Amino acid sequence: MRMRPVLAVTGSVFLFSANGFSAHAAAEPAGGKSLPASGTAVALTEDGDMVLECDGVVHRFEVLGTGQLHVGDRVAGVQPTVAVETDAEQLTGYDADLGTVTVSEKTPAVGDFVAPAAGREFPAAESLAQDLTVSMQHSPCGGGQPATFTNKTAFPLLNTNLTSFPPRNAVYLMTDPVELTDVANPSGPSVTLTEFPLTLTPAS
């Protein structure tokens, strides 16, 4: 059985918080229709801005590509919540110093869709789980050699005011900086992912 990183419910109350806004979910009665249907597969186009920092130097560039989500099972608890797995992600960007940068989902990772109340889907809170590999032609902290970096654990991008699912022109944001380590040299200099706003919309 394949193990997946999980960004899940903690305790009896699930709270998303980003930029000072919080979304709480209320209980859903049996048979309620507050959640996306389990088993739904969603293909997306993605447009983001990635900001990487190493040794005080900041690199900001656009990344474009596709993603694939899969709606999983209902999450046990008092909130109307369903698991949403990021199955795949493939993004490409370019920076004058880093060269071509590719971003891909290393391992499928599980986030959550949380409805605001019983029988009501929106505005919802959703975590888009990220477990990334970031490869570049010229490392920002390794003498300009090709390098591949990865996060140590999966992390979420959050949208706490989602108005449709599949998400349409919905922006997901980081909550905290994420350290990326060099796959070939884990004890070497790391890169910090400081911003990664990502806009999702259904693939045409």
Amino acid at 49: D
* Contact in structure between 68 and 87 (CB atoms under 8 Å): yes
The Cβ-side half-sphere exposure at 145, using a 13 Å CA radius, reads 9
Average pLDDT, the chain: 86
* pLDDT tens, position by position, 38-78: 999 999 999 999 999 998 999 999 999 999 999 999 998 76
Burial grade of 8 (CB within 10 A; 0-12, 13-18, 19 or more): middle
* pLDDT tens, position by position, 181-200: 999 999 889 999 999 999 99
